[in-house]
Homo-oligomer: A and B are copies of this chain.
């Protein structure tokens, strides 16, 4: 293995100069710099990243902490992060927290121990982990969910507007008893989307009825149960707005099992695009989030933060897009 000293000897300079040239630090005489670059090239020199890491007490790694790579919402987000990271010379560590605060916290500990440069995290409900990261002076960007108590850069999506558009669309299609299956009420995405739903009802002069709302868990089984419950409880909804992709799937399962027709008698719109929304019959109306863009944007914020740790924190909110398909059109 060729080291920086080999290059130095070969170029007739000191190791420090080689380091300066290769890292673009300070100004180095062009003649020397040329000799160094030539020597490095000739010897096929590859800097030892581990040594650099130790010296700088920092790795060239990012961690992305999400609840589950199996959720298509996250895969394309991860993809967006990775594309930016790679270009900037960082590698991406993948951490699945499974919405489990303990698992999340154990990853945070690992991140701190590994001296990861930066973290992009979709936080679970507790904010301690985030605080821990910020205290450990890691660059942190939160995505998807808002965190109170702790200041960080953040990339969010306009959940309220998205939910409002979805609900307004159902109203406009003539549905009158629109139910909402949302997530846990301590998760901001769940409450924002519920708020959008309520706003749309109010704007249309429709009553808001608690009986038509179910707080579930953002999981498939939860959506399935909530849907069954809505059908069984006698509230007779004629449309469903489900606030994430997994619960939408669950709701559809119940409807299919019971032989209830979509969009008639029951219309469906789900939050989150699904790769197969166009393929199902009827095709599924969704509120699409720009997931790849969320990942890209978060990565860019992280990059900025690493370059300039003192800068003001930024929150970027991206827009959703309502994709009207057959499941809500009658």
Contact = CB atoms under 8 A, between A and B. Distances in A.
A262 to B, nearest CB: 10
Contacts of A114: 49-50, 91
A78 interface: yes
A27 interface: no
Interface residues of A, number: 41
The copy count of this chain in the complex is 2
A111 B198 CA distance: 51
Given A279-B252, A279-B256, A69 B59 contact: no
B69 A78 contact: yes
Interface stretch (A92-100, A125-133, A310-318): A92-100
A50 B49 contact: no
A50 B54 contact: yes
A274 interface: yes
Kindly list the 5 A-B residue pairs having the minimum CB-CB distance in the complex, ordered from nearest. A50-B54, A281-B281, A276-B276, A54-B54, A94-B94
Contacts of A281: 256, 280-281
Interface string A207-251: 000000000000000000000000000000000000000000100
Nearest to A93: B91
Given A115-B49, A256-B279, A276-B276, A96 B70 contact: no
A82 interface: yes
B70 A79 contact: yes
A253 B292 CA distance: 23
